[in-house]
Amino acid sequence: MNMSCKALTYKNSGSGLKHFDSGALIYKQKISRLLACCLIAAAFTATTFTSLTGRNTVMAADPVAKAAPAVKQVIEEDPVWPELKTELFESRAINSENSLLTMEAPYRAHDAALVPIVIKANQFKPGQYIKALTLVVDNNPVPVAAVFDLSPKLGPLHLETRIRINQYSYVRAIAEMNDGSLFMVAKYVKAAGGCSAPAMKDMEARIAAIGRMKLRQFTAKPDMKSDEHSSGDMAKSDTAKQLQSTPAQREIQLMVRHPNYSGMQLNQETGYYIPAHYVEKITVNIDGEQLMKVDGAISLSEDPIIRFRFQAATEQPTVKLIVTDTKKQTFETEWKMKSPSELGS
């Protein structure tokens, strides 16, 4: 593994809000993760052998059969998060028994290198908003996938992106409110090999395409399904009102071409590891004001995508995307959005 791959670690700024600093890899959980990987790989080998032979042949894999419950125990006990929580948030309380956040993620990912994640905020108190969102994949080599610094002008959170998952893991979104309180939602995702998945496309072509950007516009629709609106209590609640799309609410998807090499992928021609080279910062400005800033790492997928909703002050706001990678290359593009009437329903 290429050890030039860096992690995102917290550094106390003294202001109450923590910032990230590129530093050494977070590998304090190395031994427990390695054990879990070995047990899972061994259990998979035994299962594969059984399926290929068509009979439950134990042979030398008998110790593996005995180890299978240990694999389940490692997963269910989730030993990684408590230490990660201390590393990232120290002793701060995190409310995980709440209805503020929801997450959509596949239980079993189709592609471990392109796992879709959707995070939404269900309700806000008056004057309350999310100022930072931290996306964590417990069992990834670099657990912090991204940190989103958000403007209150974003409105109720509706955020989508794609990540890599290296082994079965909880994916967590921790929201920091403007009053300093923390809320968390988590989903368990079965996926493996996402961080080390080989680059399938021609490397020279990928490098040549770096920095190309694309914007897509959508008509923002209400988040709630029709059967959810049938509940009288829900329909009258503030939550229902906030989840409805409004004329000023716009929805866009931004994409930048970038291989986001993790440092763990092999060059299929040379057999050597491809040096880490990934998107480090993403800034989204609307009409000249910062709406979102993202600190990224290797757990973001190749060709990073961010899809989100925001409250527009004008019919045709100007969107500017600025992206910087670990080689300090900066790319930027500006678009004039279509009006809602041009988009249609």
Q: What is the mean pLDDT of the chain?
A: 77
63 and 85 share one domain: no
Q: Are residues 100 and 218 in the same domain?
A: yes
Q: Do 72 and 93 belong together in one domain?
A: no
The angle formed by the CA atoms of residues 120, 20 and 168, to the nearest 5 degrees, is 55
- Residue 70 above 50 pLDDT? no
Work out the percent of the chain whose per-residue pLDDT is above 90. 56
**Within this chain, do residues 150 and 200 fall inside the same structural domain, yes or no?**
yes
Query: Do 50 and 167 share a structural domain?
Result: no
Is 336 within a domain?
yes
- The pLDDT tens digits for 208-224 are 999 999 999 998 777 64
Residue 240 pLDDT class (50, 70, 90 cuts): very low
Same domain membership, residue 160 and residue 45: no
Look at residue 178 and tell me whether its pLDDT is greater than 60.
yes
Full-model pTM: 0.74
Sign of dihedral through CA atoms 111, 112, 113, 116?
A: positive
- What CATH number is associated with residue 177? 2.60.40.2470
Give yes or no: residues 296 and 158 share one domain: yes
Q: Are residues 152 and 54 in the same domain?
A: no
281-322 per-position pLDDT tens digit: 999 999 999 999 999 999 999 999 999 999 999 999 999 999
Q: Are 250 and 310 in contact (CB under 8 A)?
A: yes
* pLDDT value, residue 223: 62
- Structural domain for 264, as ranges: 79-343
Question: What SS3 state is found at 260?
Answer: coil
The reply to whether 238 and 310 lie within a common domain is: yes
Both 293 and 333 in a single domain?
Answer: yes
| 204 and 307 co-located in one domain | yes
Q: How many domains is the chain partitioned into structurally?
A: 2
For residues 56 and 124, state if they share a domain: no
